[in-house]
């Protein structure tokens, strides 16, 4: 009989047996993504690694086959039940594919078909995933573990390290738990709602086309510049982003709506979770159109007021609002097609429309020390939004920091303002783009 992984099992077993993962529930954050998917769009993100040598496709394929059994929660397909979507184990081996299209193409929901892709092109290996599978943390662990096996098969010795798994190790139950349900405190006050935010608009690209602009910095240089403003790298970039979007808003003439940047929060930094599934919340930071006259230091100070208040008490509001809805008896007994209608409405009311742009700082990649001999840098693409036309992310490996804009509009005025602001401050940046 099929068994379902749940929180009660965590106290009984340290390791995960194969029979425990024939099928299992989506985590709390994962529920929204299939519900709001359309025939032309769903939420897909990408983590890429640029190597120092050309990719060996045969070795990469063998590494993927070895590693996938270590990540049973990725070795699944998405299926519909009467009340909920669920994941089911697939016995089909994933195969690496040549990277020939624009990043973050729509993921197909087919029985026995994986919800991720491993792609290659010249020196780059890319991992793309449907967001219901995992957040950025889980993706980095998977990519690092895949690289470890790839380098081992290439004849190199790679030591074990944090955020990198040995493919022979058994997965633990904690890795596949729904940490939202585990750590929710349903007595805690719910979160709040927000109004519509300013949207960056322009000429829409053809379906499936995602414009990418990478700015490659010295991580040490950026850190030193941030120190001049008594800020972290995250706070410094957020302030420059607000400056850039406010200037863009002023030039566009749409000056009434607030500019709101959404910043993901890795909840593993607040709770002792080891989950490799989704376990992130967010902080929306808001500036008004009149704030465009602020100096950069004043913008940094306002950002700091918002970021340094993030603690367990703050994120509990977001967690509990979602978990309470999931556990509502009326919603639980509602057929899936009606749930989907409700979640589409909720997404429209409190999803992307209340955000101008997302900014995700994945941080410094923790990887085996041997990686620096073979890896040039990492990159992250958030993928196209359903409403938001632009997203941004930053990731660091060794001294290579890559700031990425992804956009589904032709115009690049906002991105130019952002990078020009940084170069005017004295930062050196190398720009790479797929825009013709």
> For the domain that residue 97 is a member of, what is the CATH number?
3.30.559.10
In a domain, 193, yes or no: no
Contacts of 288 (CB under 8 A, 6+ apart): 258, 259
* pLDDT above 50: residue 433: yes
Note the pLDDT of residue 3.
41
Would you say 133 and 74 are in contact if contact means Cβ atoms under 8 Å apart? yes
Last residue of a domain, one of 183, 203, 235: 183
In a domain, 147, yes or no: yes
Domain that includes residue 128, residue range: 7-183
Would you say 401 and 223 are in contact if contact means Cβ atoms under 8 Å apart? no
Calpha distance 242→291 (Å, rounded): 9
Last residue of a domain, one of 138, 165, 183: 183
Would you say 92 and 114 are in contact if contact means Cβ atoms under 8 Å apart? yes
Would you say 71 and 145 are in contact if contact means Cβ atoms under 8 Å apart? yes
Q: What is the mean pLDDT of residues 401-427?
A: 98
Note the pLDDT of residue 168.
96
CATH number where 251 lies: 3.30.559.30
* 136-153 helix and 57-67 helix, angle to the nearest 10 degrees: 120
* pLDDT above 70: residue 18: no
Q: How confident is the model at residue 160 (pLDDT cuts 50, 70, 90)?
A: confident
227 and 154 both lie in a single domain: no
Q: How confident is the model at residue 326 (pLDDT cuts 50, 70, 90)?
A: confident
% of the chain beyond a pLDDT of 90:
79
Q: How confident is the model at residue 2 (pLDDT cuts 50, 70, 90)?
A: very low
What integer best gives the mean pLDDT of the chain?
92
Would you say 66 and 169 are in contact if contact means Cβ atoms under 8 Å apart? no
162 and 262 both lie in a single domain: no
Calpha distance 135→431 (Å, rounded): 27
Note the pLDDT of residue 346.
80
Q: In what order do the strands lie in the sheet with 400-407?
A: 280-287, 259-266, 357-364, 390-397, 400-407, 211-218, 430-433
Calpha distance 87→183 (Å, rounded): 22
In a domain, 342, yes or no: yes
243 and 161 both lie in a single domain: no
221 and 95 both lie in a single domain: no
154 and 244 both lie in a single domain: no
More confident residue, 19 or 290: 290
At 382, list the tokens: 């958030």
pLDDT tens digit string along 52-61? 999 999 999 9
* pLDDT above 70: residue 189: no
Note the pLDDT of residue 352.
84
Would you say 73 and 133 are in contact if contact means Cβ atoms under 8 Å apart? yes
263 and 360 both lie in a single domain: yes
End-to-end CA, the chain: 54
Give how far Cα 154 sits from Cα of 135, 219, 376, Å. 29, 29, 17
Residue 247: closest CA among 104, 373, 7, 420: 420
| Cα 171 to the center of its chain, rounded Å | 22
136 and 224 both lie in a single domain: no
Measured in degrees and rounded to the nearest 5, phi and psi for residue 72 equal -60, -25
- Name the CA dihedral angle for 81, 341, 262, 135, rounded to a multiple of 10 degrees: 10
105 and 66 both lie in a single domain: yes
Note the pLDDT of residue 19.
56
Calpha distance 238→283 (Å, rounded): 12
Taken in order 418, 311, 136, 224, the sign of the CA dihedral is positive
Residue 344: closest CA among 333, 352, 356: 352
At 22, list the tokens: 């024939």
In a domain, 373, yes or no: no
Note the pLDDT of residue 10.
41
Q: What is the mean pLDDT of residues 341-367?
A: 89
20 and 132 both lie in a single domain: yes
Query: What SS3 state is found at 78?
Result: strand
Q: How confident is the model at residue 5 (pLDDT cuts 50, 70, 90)?
A: very low
Query: What SS3 state is found at 329?
Result: helix
In a domain, 300, yes or no: yes
Note the pLDDT of residue 120.
99
Note the pLDDT of residue 190.
60
In a domain, 197, yes or no: no
Would you say 178 and 229 are in contact if contact means Cβ atoms under 8 Å apart? no
In a domain, 327, yes or no: no
At 187, list the tokens: 């007595």
Q: What is the mean pLDDT of residues 128-152?
A: 98
pLDDT tens digit string along 364-410? 999 999 999 999 999 999 999 888 999 999 999 999 999 999 999 99
296 and 215 both lie in a single domain: yes
Measured in degrees and rounded to the nearest 5, phi and psi for residue 151 equal -70, -35
Note the pLDDT of residue 123.
99
**Residue 128, strand partner residues:** 46, 117
Last residue of a domain, one of 138, 167, 183: 183
120 and 40 both lie in a single domain: yes
% of the chain beyond a pLDDT of 70:
94
Q: Nearest-5° angle of CA 104, CA 106, CA 110?
A: 130
144 and 260 both lie in a single domain: no
Query: How many structural domains are present in the chain?
Result: 2
Burial class (CB in 10 A: 0-12, 13-18, 19+), 28: buried
Calpha distance 152→159 (Å, rounded): 10
In a domain, 412, yes or no: yes
């Amino acid at each position: 009989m099929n068994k379902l992984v749940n929180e009660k099992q965590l106290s009984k077993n340290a390791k995960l047996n194969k029979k425990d993962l024939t099928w299992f529930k989506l985590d709390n954050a994962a529920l929204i993504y299939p519900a709001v998917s359309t025939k032309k769009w769903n939420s897909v993100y990408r983590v890429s690694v640029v190597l120092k040598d050309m990719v060996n496709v045969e070795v990469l394929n063998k590494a993927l086959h070895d590693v996938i059994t270590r990540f049973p929660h990725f070795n699944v397909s998405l299926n519909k039940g009467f009340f909920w979507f669920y994941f089911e184990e697939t016995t089909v081996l994933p195969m690496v594919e040549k990277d020939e299209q624009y990043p973050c193409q729509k993921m197909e929901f087919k029985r026995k078909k994986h919800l991720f892709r491993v792609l290659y092109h010249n020196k780059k290996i890319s991992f793309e995933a449907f967001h219901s599978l995992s957040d950025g943390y889980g993706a980095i662990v998977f990519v690092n573990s895949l690289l470890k096996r790839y380098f081992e098969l290439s004849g190199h010795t790679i030591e074990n390290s944090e955020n990198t798994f040995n493919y022979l190790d058994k997965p633990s139950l904690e890795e596949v738990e729904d940490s939202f349900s585990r750590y929710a405190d349903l007595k805690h006050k719910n979160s709040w709602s927000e109004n519509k935010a300013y949207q960056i608009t322009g000429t829409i690209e053809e379906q499936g086309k995602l414009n990418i602009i990478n700015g490659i910095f010295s991580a040490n240089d950026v850190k030193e510049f941030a120190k001049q403003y008594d800020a972290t790298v995250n706070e410094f970039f957020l302030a420059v982003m607000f400056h850039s979007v406010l200037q863009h808003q002023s030039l566009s003439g749409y000056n009434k709506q607030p500019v709101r940047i959404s910043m993901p929060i890795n909840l593993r930094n607040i709770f002792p979770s080891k989950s490799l599934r989704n376990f992130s919340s967010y902080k929306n930071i808001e500036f008004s159109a009149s704030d465009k006259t602020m100096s950069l230091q004043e913008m940094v100070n306002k950002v700091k007021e918002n970021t340094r208040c993030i603690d367990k008490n703050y994120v509990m509001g977001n967690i509990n609002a979602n978990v309470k809805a999931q556990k509502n008896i009326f919603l639980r007994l509602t057929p899936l097609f009606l749930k989907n209608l409700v979640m589409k409405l909720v997404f429209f009311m409190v999803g992307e429309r209340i955000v101008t742009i997302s900014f995700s700082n994945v941080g410094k990649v923790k990887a085996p020390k041997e990686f620096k001999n073979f890896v040039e840098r990492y990159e992250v693409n958030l993928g196209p939004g359903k409403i938001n036309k632009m997203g941004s992310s930053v990731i660091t490996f060794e001294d290579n920091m890559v700031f990425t804009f992804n956009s589904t509009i032709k115009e690049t005025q906002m991105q130019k303002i952002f990078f020009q602001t940084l170069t005017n401050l004295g930062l050196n940046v190398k720009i790479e783009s797929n825009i013709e």
